[in-house]
Structure 1
Amino acid sequence: MDGMIAPIGAARIRAALGALRGGLAHAAKLALDIALPTLCISCREPVDGEGVCAACWGKLSFIERPYCPKLGIPFVYDPGPELLSMEAIAAPPAYARARAAVRYDDAARTLVHALKYQDRTDLAPIMGRWMARAGRELLDGADMLVPVPLHWQRGFSRRYNQSGALARVIARHSGTRLHGSALRRVRATEQQVGLSRAQRASNVQGAFQVSADRLQDVQGRCIVLVDDVLTTGATVDACARALLRAKAAEVSVLVFARVVDAPRAPI
């Protein structure tokens, strides 16, 4: 009997200490929230809860239906199901479908550049949630998420991959498995900013590869590629081709923002 008292007492002490630590952590967080109010992720003005202030929210242009079922480019009116945009017909990509949360405008650019170049990894949770919402139809049938990889040299200098940060959030919210090592960037490339459409395609040609030891992970799978911005689509198209060469069943693309030149009408 005496031998049972010590373990039971020790368990109670551990439980009490755990509860105390939890209470202290909650109190510390509350004190920090009072001392340092939550700030808008864009303009850094105080805001209630997590997210953006009303002014910055109003500046974001979320992409909603109607849009091209293949490229996700918004239409000016609803043409009915399955009618494609001119871009999708003129230059069909290797990937099956693309979806984006917002248009790439000044407001979206602020968020993307902060995440990508200013170590604002605190932006990933809300941006990733918006992406999970925008890509729900892609994620429902997906076997895995694959972030667009950085070359190791750029990854070393930047310290993290913004696409990987977004993909981790999407994985948590969608339940889709994240496979961060399925695709590699085997050749260092120039920054795509400032390059023409043809130069962008040439810049990333042959830059991505599925390693031999990852082929079984990819074969027969429906994959959703994750990136921050879709401009001409050259990077995600090159990634999709590498995955399809490795016998992926289908590749779709989910990005935070996409460039939309002007309102589009279907044909």
Structure 2
Amino acid sequence: MKLQSVIRAIYPASCVACDQPTAAENGLCGPCWRDTRFITGTACDLCGAPLMGDDAGGAVLHCDDCMTLARPWARGRAALVYDGIGRRMVLGLKHGDRTDLAVPAARWMTQAASGLFDDDTLVVPVPVHWSRLLARRYNQANLLSTLVAHRLGLEHLPDALVRPRPAPKMVQTGRSARFAALDRAIQPHPRRGVAMAGRRMLIVDDVMTTGATLAAAADAALRAGAQQVHVLTLARAVKDD
């Protein structure tokens, strides 16, 4: 009997969301798959938020937020809506030590990333401050970007961007205040950041809410001379239907 078969017999595959048995590793069971809001149809070209209707003509569409906010990146996509199982997975990855969730998450993200990269694209994660890294022991955005870059066969530079100061607490903070608090909060790495000059960038994070953090990361990449920036997240927070 092969080792993999022995391992499967002792530890059968289970759903990453509810622990019910599944046919394959790192997947969802049937009920959880049906309950997960994958973004597969018409979506905002800047943030990936799902949009109503059919885009039969191939027009570039933007959501309400992206029509009123200046986004420093060119295009963006997300794999899931940030509610229900999508929210549970983001929080498990971010706060629950569920690093195993990065494997299926990266698979879904690469499926959503069509059109966001070419062979020369450089993949980088949104950085965290060293104090957050010390407390959490990992940067979930780096886990995702590492796997996304590997699946897409692209160069990965985990320390191209840095966060010199801790992220401010954002409890019940308005959108404008959030953007102001994060302005210049992310910087190119003093030495490694030069690798972004002239490159197309794919910046990866776990979730997009207002987009302030991704805007700070994209601005930093552009200041370092990046030619173009795209963004990719596991989940996108959307307004209630």
TM-score w.r.t. structure 1 length?
A: 0.84
**Which consecutive residues of structure 1, in runs of 5 or more, have no partner in the other structure?**
1-22
Q: Flag the structure with higher helix content.
A: 1
- Superposed CA offset, 1:91-130 (max 9, x none): 1211111100011111101111111111111111110010
Shift, 1:193, TM fit: 5.0
Shift, 1:141, TM fit: 5.8
- Superposed CA offset, 1:141-171 (max 9, x none): 6521110011000001100010000111111
- Aligned partner of 1:159 in structure 2 is 137
C-alpha change, 1:239 and 1:70, in structure 2 (3 Å) is: same
- Superposed CA offset, 1:188-237 (max 9, x none): 11244543212321222221111231243011111010000000000000
Q: 1:96 & 1:144 partners in 2: Cα distance?
A: 15
- Aligned partner of 2:110 in structure 1 is 132
Q: Superposition RMSD on alpha carbons, in Å?
A: 1.7
> Structure 2 matches for 1:68-83, cutoff 5 A?
68-79=44-55, 80=57, 81-83=59-61
Q: 2:100 & 2:49 partners in 1: Cα distance?
A: 28
Pairs aligned (count) = 238
Please state whether the residue corresponding to 2:92 is helix, strand or coil.
helix
Larger Rg belongs to = 1
Identity, in percent, stands at 37
Question: Aligned AA for 2:114?
Answer: R
Question: Aligned AA for 2:183?
Answer: Q
Please state whether the residue corresponding to 2:191 is helix, strand or coil.
helix
Q: 2:80 & 2:171 partners in 1: Cα distance?
A: 19
Q: 1:38 aligns with which of 13, 16, 19?
A: 13
CA contact 2:47–2:78 (8 Å) conserved in 1? no
Q: 1:102 & 1:193 partners in 2: Cα distance?
A: 23
Q: 1:201 & 1:90 partners in 2: Cα distance?
A: 14
The question of 1:144 aligning with 2:119 is answered no
**Structure 1 stretch displaced more, 56-65 or 135-144:** 135-144
- Aligned partner of 1:10 in structure 2 is none
Q: 2:9 & 2:172 partners in 1: Cα distance?
A: 44
**Structure 1 stretch displaced more, 68-77 or 41-50:** 68-77
